[in-house]
Amino acid sequence: MKIYISILILFCATSSIAQDSDLRKIDSIVNSKITENDPALFVGIVKDGKIIYQKTRGLISLQHQVKATEKSVSNIASTAKQFTALMILQLSIEEKLSLEDDIRKYLPTFYPKVKEAIKIRHLLNHTSGVRDFYDLMSIQQNPWWRREGLDNNDALELLEKQQDLAFKPGSRYLYSNSGYTILTKIIAVASGEDFHDYSKNFFENLGMKNTQFLKDYMYVIPNIALPYSDWGDGIWQQYPMITNLYGDGFLFTSLEDQLIFEKAVQNANHNNNRLLIESQKPIKNSEIQTYGFGLELEDRLNRKSVHHSGRTGSYHSQIVRYPDDKLSVFVMSNNSRLWSGAIADEITNVLLLTKELKNNYNKKIKETENLNITDAIVGQYRSPGAYLIRIESKEGKLFWRNGNNNPRELVQENKNIYKMKSNPSLKVGFFKNELNLFYESGKIAVYEKIPYEKPTLADLESYEGEYYSTELEMSFTIDLKPDNTLKISLEKWDEPVDLAVLNRNELLVYDYILKIKRDQFSRVVEILLTTNRVLNNKFVKKTKLKFQPKIETENGSINVTTIGSKNGNSSQILLTKNYTNGNEIWSQQFGGKSYDKANSIIATKDGYLIIGSTSSFGNGNYDMFVIKTDKKGKKIWQNTYGGFYNEYGYSAEKTDTGFLLKGTKQNCTSNSDIFNRKCTTNVWVVAIDKKGKEISNTVLEEIE
């Protein structure tokens, strides 16, 4: 027995010495990051339900040389999301709301046109499709940090103007701060209390008496750590924080309070604390398992972990929990030179043995080794998240490029497998018509290759015009210059900027991807703007909405247009051939005694096909009108298509047997009662042979 006790004492002593050694290493890490006269760093560690380390270093006020303490409060930014989520979970447990509730139960004026349910749980784990209001404000060229007094009501007002979502709720993950701003409103409605009053009581019940969400940036917060940045010039400046946002971040808390909370989380099972137990798990019924109640649930340092980071201005923080090891590491700072996440990982590596990640690449990676690729791998690819990336070749090297980001070099490993030079564990495998991104964990992402469609001059001209967003109350203009380059002018930009053409349907400026949307007649009618955490912001074309009235030739162009009569009671179709400088070579006119209009023209092997409408010929008020000419513009044949009401021709395309005409067809409930009849207009497609004889016609969807 004495021998057993002696061994136990020796083991405890050895364990204590090992722990003390680790803590000295951690102390050395913290001391190495800043001096005593720099903006502060706060570090705390909880192991097996107990605080084993806490340290503050540096100053919370450079002006007054105030040292940081465990009671000093700093802004933990997005690490605060777990507490907003915790309040929602508490209200759910109390049955004051359900995570399956549609958010419009609490905000009935939001997204009236969205048919799908936008559930509270969708907001919690960023699968709602609600766009990030910070990025929306950046698109408006009026970012949040410039807006003095900006608060949650301002953010909600902007979100209320949004008519649609970035994607169908639950269909994908895209981090959005907006969800947590909306959750603060839901908390207020469901609890029947002001959010700040509710959250104050909530934190007090957790024992976190020095923790509070920002209410007014002008209010005095005792023991606050002021934010400092040096912007690379070595001169400390206080970062201006002039907004009143809360819920998605902007939580001021102390190291002391955070360690109280971390102890409660680690002891939750022992204390049977349902709220804290459930908060560390994935959300029930969720389509994703990698993000839960304001917390990321993916492995960190190759270990099972629950974690989140935050950064706003000069403030930043990181919480990492390793449940299997009963270890929590919390770091926060008011010093922009540091990064809490890197410090937390460095500390963890002292306390835990680093687990080697097994090479567990998806077995599909082997299928590429002997694959005979016939198509070139250089080109454009669409990611699972609908982002466009380019594989480029330069000076014999291959590069991966996302938007306007710096190219990332790819290094060949074998015939069709490449690795990222900056991250060798990330492999890129090329298949026919796709590339696969392989991760060591076994995860695979499939990128579809997109055939490159080179824009014609007609395409470039079709992009021109002014585009307006009712949701953002702003516009931009695209202009085509004489050298056939595109320029984009956006409100509040000093001057127009070059607009790069990725392909016929996507343009790029800075980190804005502009996706071209066309109507049933191939006209450019909208542009969807995507950047960062917002997808597919709709800008509707307001000017130069036209069909294709011009064909480029080797030495000029062929143009078709409508010309009116001198007295204005008729119009005719004018076809001209022009030199490059615009001077006319020859012209031809077509039409009758009434109104004849041209909308577009296409080239054929032996001439041209003009598509428009006529009231001079045909069966009704207006009929679809098609004229076939030779290369000199001489009419070969003309024909009309339609019935009693109005039919208009807008565009055409060649087929093996002739042509497919696109236009609109009107139908009414009465031929005579013009005051009470109801009329509808539908897309109308007419198939004709090469001599203009109608083969078939089809009525498609109704248009507004």
DSSP secondary structure of 109-162: TS-TT--S--BHHHHHTT-S-PPPHHHHHHHTT--GGGSTT-BHHHHHHHHHT-
**pLDDT value of residue 453:** 82
- Looking at the DSSP bridge assignments, the partners of residue 388 are 382
In 3D space, the residue among 461, 449, 471, 451 whose CA is nearest the CA of residue 135 turns out to be 471
Q: Of 595, 447, 387, 469, whose CA–CA distance to 162 is shortest?
A: 469
Comparing CA positions, the residue from 634, 626, 577 lying closest to residue 599 is 626
pLDDT at position 61: 98
Q: From the CB of residue 659, how many other CB atoms can be counted at a distance below 10 Å? A: 21
pTM for the structure as a whole:
0.87
pLDDT of residue 357: 56
How are the residues of the chain apportioned to helix, strand and coil, as percentages rounded to the nearest 5? 20, 40, 40
Return d(Cα 535, Cα 529) in angstroms, integer: 7
Residue 355 pLDDT class (50, 70, 90 cuts): low
CA angle 482, 485, 489 (to 5 degrees): 100
Nearest Cα to Cα of residue 521 among 641, 612, 622:
612
Mean pLDDT to the nearest integer, 358-373: 76
Confidence of residue 457 (pLDDT cuts 50, 70, 90): confident
pLDDT for 546: 81
Q: Tokens at residue 640, please?
A: 């009309």
How does strand 607-614 pair with strand 596-603?
Answer: antiparallel
Indicate whether 443 pLDDT > 90.
no
Paired sense of beta strands 237-238 and 66-67, if any: unpaired
User: Is pLDDT of 311 > 90?
Assistant: yes
The 10s digit of each residue's pLDDT in 73-89 is 999 999 999 999 999 99
How do residues 2-27 score in pLDDT, each as one tens digit? 444 443 343 333 344 447 899 999 99
Q: Do 159 and 182 form a contact (C-beta atoms < 8 A)? A: yes
- pLDDT tens string 200-215: 999 999 999 999 999 9
What pLDDT sits at residue 17? 44
Please give the structure tokens belonging to residue 588.
């031809």
For 278, 330, 499, the CA distances from 310, given in Å and listed in that order, are 22, 12, 34
Q: How far apart are alpha carbons 250 and 313 in whole angstroms?
A: 11
d(CA 197, CA 557): 70
Total residue length of the chain:
704
In the structure, what pLDDT confidence band is assigned to residue 356 with cuts at 50, 70 and 90? low
Does position 354 have pLDDT exceeding 70, yes or no?
no
Task: Tell the burial category of 227 from Cβ atoms under 10 Å away from its Cβ (0-12, 13-18, 19+).
Answer: buried
More confident residue, 53 or 365: 53
Rounded to the nearest 5°, which phi and psi values hold at 464? Answer: -60, 145
Q: For residues 434 and 16, which has the higher predicted lDDT (pLDDT)?
A: 434
Judge contact between 347 and 26, C-beta under 8 A: yes
- Answer for the pair 146, 230: CB distance below 8 angstroms, yes or no: no
The pLDDT of residue 370: 66
H/E stretch holding 23: helix 2-33
Q: With cut-offs at 50, 70 and 90, classify the pLDDT of residue 568.
A: confident
pLDDT given at position 440: 85
Tokens encoding 517: 């949307």
User: Do β-strands 486-490 and 497-503 pair in parallel, antiparallel, or remain unpaired?
Assistant: antiparallel
Given a cut of 70, whether residue 187 has pLDDT beyond it is yes
The one-letter amino acid code at 570 reads S
Residue 112 phi, psi dihedral angles, 5° rounding? -65, -25
Alpha carbons 312 and 241: distance in angstroms, whole number: 9
Q: Residue 526: name the closest of 512, 511, 537 by CA.
A: 537
What's the pLDDT score for residue 703? Answer: 81
Q: What is the mean pLDDT of residues 356-380?
A: 76
Task: Write out pLDDT tens, residues 604-631.
Answer: 999 999 999 999 999 888 999 999 999 9
Give the model's pLDDT for residue 375.
Answer: 62
Q: How far apart are CA 515 and CA 377, in angstroms?
A: 23
Name 573's Cβ contacts closer than 8 Å, sequence gap at least 6: 560, 561, 562, 563, 589, 590, 591, 596, 597, 598, 610, 612, 627
**Structure confidence at residue 582 (pLDDT):** 84
With CA atoms as reference, report the closest residue to 75 among 291, 244, 188.
244
- Give the sheet arrangement for strand 251-254, strand by strand: 73-75, 251-254, 212-213
What is the per-residue pLDDT for 372?
67
Q: Which of 7-16, 448-457, 539-548 has the lowest mean pLDDT?
A: 7-16
pLDDT of 386 above 50: yes
Q: Which contiguous run of DSSP H or E holds residue 274?
A: helix 274-279
pLDDT (tens digit, 9 = 90+) per residue, 252-301?
Answer: 999 999 999 999 999 999 999 999 999 999 999 999 999 999 999 999 99
Q: Round to whole Å and give the CA distance between 74 and 228.
A: 12
Task: Give 86-122 as a DSSP string.
Answer: HHHHHHHHTTSS-TTSBGGGT-TTS-TT--S--BHHH
CA separation for the pair 48, 25 (Å, rounded)? 20
Instruction: Give pLDDT, residue 11.
Output: 37
Of 312, 310, 306, 311, the residue nearest 329 (C-alpha): 306
* pLDDT value for 601: 95
Nearest to 353 by CA among 331, 328, 325: 325
d(CA 632, CA 79): 71
Distance, in Å, from the CA atom of 129 to the CA atom of 118, rounded to the nearest integer, reads: 9
User: Which stretch of 53-62, 355-364, 553-562 has the lowest confidence by average pLDDT?
Assistant: 355-364
Domains and CATH numbers, the chain: 40-351 (3.40.710.10), 364-450 (2.40.128.50), 457-541 (2.40.128.50), 550-702 (no CATH)
What is the layout of strands, in order, in the sheet containing 679-689? 647-654, 658-668, 679-689, 694-702
Count of H-run helices and E-run strands, the chain:
13, 40
Mean pLDDT within 358-364: 82
Please give the average per-residue pLDDT across 554-569, as a whole number: 88
